[in-house]
Amino acid sequence: MSDRCRYTGLVWVGSIMNSLVVFLPGNIAGKFGGELKWSYLLNVPYALFPVLFAHRLFSLPAPANKPQSSSTVTSTIHFLLNLILFPALLAAIALCFFRMFAAIGSPALPAVFWVENVEPYLKDPTLYPLLQMIIFVVYYVPVFIFAACSLYSPPITNNHAQWLADWSAIAFGGALQAQFSYVGPALHNIPTYPEPSWKAVPEQGWDYFVAANALMVLVPFLLFVKYSLLDREVASVNVKKTKKYR
């Protein structure tokens, strides 16, 4: 299987899985949990198929690494990407925890300010935003931490390099779906909201809202570009170098 097919499939797996791990629990725990019908079970195949599909992709032989490009331009791109990614990953990790604390109702002043002036949608009674913030911490933060630790250390084995490539593709697909499903409702004025003056994103919080949600797309995208597209070209060479000096 070619790189393009493998990583397109993993991006799709990430998008579907992120959707389901928020949608299914949210339907049960949210404000409409008492109105569930038996048709809810029709979602089960949609939850199983992406898992089986991902298992199938992981069981296939990894795509062959491409020859290393020794051009100065390629080396410069890698250096600049690493330089940008490390602080961006740290910022994304901190943001994930902060938004989760804000969503669960932390009384800390920054969290209260964030909910009231930046993302009021975090307190939506459907619980979809709360669940998404928890998913970011539970599933995305470990990938971000592992990626940050791997930025300046070459893969020890080809399996290590392939793991980074595969999970960066899954994280990118999940982040795209997460932001698409979150930003849309967050920008929507709820007609039935009891406070007529309420706005989805207050004017004073617009810059924070754009920056936070752009970061949560940009970081997974850069990880995907680095590990699934660029680093696959040099992974085999790095592995050989590591083994040489052992």
pLDDT, residue 238, reads 47
pLDDT, residue 236, reads 45
pLDDT in tens, 163-206: 888 999 999 999 999 999 999 888 876 655 555 556 678 888 99
Over 80: is that where the pLDDT of 244 sits? no
Over 50: is that where the pLDDT of 241 sits? no
- CA pair distance 45, 117, nearest whole angstrom: 39
Backbone angles phi, psi at 2, to 5 degrees: -75, 160
Backbone angles phi, psi at 70, to 5 degrees: -100, 10
pLDDT, residue 214, reads 96
- CA pair distance 170, 178, nearest whole angstrom: 12
Q: Which segment of 29-33, 51-55, 152-156, 175-179 scores lowest on mean pLDDT?
A: 152-156
Over 60: is that where the pLDDT of 228 sits? yes
pLDDT in tens, 12-40: 999 999 999 999 998 898 887 888 888 88
User: Under a CB-based contact definition with an 8 Å cutoff, are residues 175 and 226 in contact?
Assistant: no
| More confident call, 160 vs 64 | 160
Query: What band does 235 get if pLDDT is binned at 50, 70 and 90?
Result: very low
pLDDT in tens, 71-129: 566 677 778 888 899 999 999 999 999 999 999 999 999 999 999 999 999 988 889 99
pLDDT in tens, 68-79: 555 566 677 778
Cα angle value 47/50/51 (rounded, 5°):
85
- CA pair distance 100, 115, nearest whole angstrom: 11
pTM: 0.83
- CA pair distance 85, 124, nearest whole angstrom: 32
- CA pair distance 241, 90, nearest whole angstrom: 28
Mean pLDDT of the chain: 83
Nearest to 169 by CA among 86, 225, 88, 234: 225
Give the tokens for residue 74. 């390629």
- Which letter does DSSP use for residue 232 in this model? G
